[in-house]
Amino acid sequence: MYWEKELEVLDRKNLEKLQVERLMATLRQAVNSQYYGKIPEINKAIKSGIHSIEQVRELPFTTKEDLRGDFPWGFLAVDKREVVRLHSSSGTTGNPTVVYHNRHDLDSWANLMARSLFAAGVRDTDVFQNMAGYGLFTGGLGFQYGVEKLGCLSIPAGAGNSLRQIKLMRDYGTTVAHAIPSYLGRLFDVFKEEGLDPRKDTKLHTLVIGAEPHTEEHRLRIQEMFGVKAYNSFGLSEMNGPGVAFECTEQNGLHIWEDAYVVEIIDPVTLQPVTDGEIGELVMTTLDRRAMPVIRYRTRDLTRFLPGECKCGRTHRRLDRIAGRSDDMFIMKGCNVFPMQIEGVLMKLPEVGDDYRIMLETIDDQDEMIVEVEVKKDWFKGDLSVLDRLQKHITHLIRDEVLVRPLIKLVEPGSIPKTEGKAVRVFDHRKK
């Protein structure tokens, strides 16, 4: 079953024809902005025309630095009176990145969200509890409008306050819930503290997770804790927010909606396309946004196209789960290290809890990687020799994975400070 069958199963030839038409319309809209209006390659493409979707490569990239540099109005392509909403990053280290929407954009975004949720098996008979933050963060309102478009009973619970979340679930019979992965481990702990089991004491049948990169091991752990399927959602505010790509019930990759985006994967160093199946940086162009179209945006997210067709029948290409971000990588003792590599090791261990952090420090003029790992309560209060063996085991596993010997610090569950919104995993305190 499909939300929009005529678009979701469109053959490649006609899908690419639609992309070309929408790309031309996007370029004509984009030049109304101060930023894109002065870029010669875009004006040239409008005059000569786009005849194949591969010609998008002739256009320049857009970066987060560009969005910040022309803050606040440089990318706006409509009169300010048409704008009905904005979303923004925190901007704690400079200008925020701001994205504007008119009514068309919000309707289009809500429809993409409804399509995504439908693909994951959510129906208008469901009770949907949204445990994401509302406000400038896109996860709250993005899902809210999509759920309402789909026709579910929505519970806009917002983030945090676990006792209240559990009460809402039980009072109203929540069947589907959305949250960031790092929060669900904490929520499960509260269930246990209250003597409850979400598998028996709720009506949950589906979880939707996203907003922060996570490993397959972390997803499997969430599914085991709650006893339901957890579907991956991918989005970024520059491309609307959630609903850019979503798993269907086959759970074999994220369908990226190509009627709304042109998708490329490039080598982040050479900036050239990688071969299909090779991991590279995701680059995206909006095709159905009017207030603020964005052309060839370098997301910094690392992924790859998955080969073959999906059994669900949808023809839109599938992305592998996000492997990390090119700007999340850090160098330790000459080795490139991604936080996701460390998470992949930790989440396989039954003794390890759901939180960790990586502290990069300079000790005696040597750079060191300290990995603080929460240990489950039953293990932490056991024999000290057991903890010693666990510490050595984790050291060995991480060293084999990233080729750097870490310093492992085992800590009690709940002792690692929590952050609002997305989990912060790496803290670099090294001497520059």
| Residue 334 and residue 320 share a domain | no
Give the span between the Cα atoms of 189 and 155, in whole angstroms: 22
Helix, strand, coil tally for the chain in percent (to 5): 35, 25, 40
Fill in the DSSP letter of residue 328: T
Predicted local confidence at residue 381, as pLDDT? 66
| Residue 150 and residue 57 share a domain | yes
Query: Which has more pLDDT, 369 or 95?
Result: 369
Predicted local confidence at residue 298, as pLDDT? 97
| Residue 353 and residue 280 share a domain | no
- Using alpha carbons, select from 194, 155, 160 the residue that is nearest to residue 177: 155
pLDDT tens digits, one per residue of 380-426: 666 788 889 999 999 999 999 888 999 999 998 889 987 656 778 89
Is pLDDT of 266 > 70? Answer: yes
Six-digit token string for 82: 């048409």
Among 262, 297, 326, give the residue marking a domain's end. 326
Q: 348 with 180: CB under 8 angstroms?
A: no
Predicted local confidence at residue 129, as pLDDT? 98
Residue 155: CA count within 13 A, CB half-sphere:
23
What percentage of residues in the chain have a pLDDT greater than 70? 97
Per-position DSSP letters for 177-205, written without gaps between them: EEE-HHHHHHHHHHHHHTT--HHHHS---
| Residue 336 and residue 312 share a domain | no
Predicted local confidence at residue 264, as pLDDT? 98
Predicted local confidence at residue 421, as pLDDT? 63
Six-digit token string for 92: 């704690």
pTM of the model: 0.84
Where does the pLDDT of residue 376 fall: very low under 50, low under 70, confident under 90, or very high at 90 and above? confident
Give the sheet arrangement for strand 280-286, strand by strand: 261-266, 280-286, 297-303, 324-325
pLDDT tens digits, one per residue of 24-74: 999 999 999 999 999 999 999 999 999 999 999 999 999 999 999 999 999
| Residue 365 and residue 283 share a domain | no
Segments forming the whole domain that contains residue 49 = 1-326
Q: 372 with 356: CB under 8 angstroms?
A: yes
Give the span between the Cα atoms of 260 and 289, in whole angstroms: 8
- Using alpha carbons, select from 280, 178, 305, 288 the residue that is nearest to residue 240: 288
The contacts of residue 293 (CB under 8 Å, 6+ apart) are 26, 29, 30, 33, 36, 77, 286
Q: Identify the weakest region by mean pLDDT among 38-42, 78-82, 341-345.
A: 341-345
Average pLDDT over residues 230-258: 96
Q: 146 with 116: CB under 8 angstroms?
A: yes
Six-digit token string for 398: 């991480």
Query: What CATH number is given to the structural domain containing 391?
Result: 3.30.300.30
| Residue 37 and residue 158 share a domain | yes
CA-only gyration radius of the chain, Å: 22
| Residue 101 and residue 11 share a domain | yes
| Residue 336 and residue 190 share a domain | no
Beta bridge partners of 298: 283
Among 287, 311, 326, give the residue marking a domain's end. 326
| Residue 365 and residue 223 share a domain | no
Six-digit token string for 166: 């559990």
The contacts of residue 227 (CB under 8 Å, 6+ apart) are 198, 199, 204
| Residue 334 and residue 322 share a domain | no
Helix ranges (DSSP H) in 297-413: 339-346, 377-380, 384-402
Give the span between the Cα atoms of 393 and 397, in whole angstroms: 6
| Residue 143 and residue 283 share a domain | yes
Q: 348 with 217: CB under 8 angstroms?
A: yes
| Residue 344 and residue 314 share a domain | no
Where does the pLDDT of residue 86 fall: very low under 50, low under 70, confident under 90, or very high at 90 and above? very high
Among 326, 356, 388, give the residue marking a domain's end. 326
Is pLDDT of 117 > 90? Answer: yes
Is pLDDT of 349 > 80? Answer: yes
**Residue 102 backbone dihedrals phi, psi, to 5 degrees:** -100, -175
pLDDT tens digits, one per residue of 125-155: 999 999 999 999 999 999 999 999 999 999 9
What percentage of residues in the chain have a pLDDT greater than 90? 77
pLDDT tens digits, one per residue of 297-339: 999 999 999 999 999 999 999 999 888 887 778 888 888 888 8
Beta bridge partners of 245: 234, 256
Query: What CATH number is given to the structural domain containing 118?
Result: 3.40.50.12780
Phi-psi bin for 251: left (phi > 0), alpha (psi -120 to 50), beta?
Answer: left
Give the span between the Cα atoms of 264 and 256, in whole angstroms: 11
pLDDT tens digits, one per residue of 98-107: 999 999 999 9
Average pLDDT over residues 172-180: 97
Fill in the DSSP letter of residue 240: T
Task: Quote the mean pLDDT of the chain.
Answer: 93
Is pLDDT of 90 > 80? Answer: no
The contacts of residue 184 (CB under 8 Å, 6+ apart) are 207, 209, 222, 225, 226, 354
How many domains does the chain divide into? 2
Give the span between the Cα atoms of 164 and 196, in whole angstroms: 14
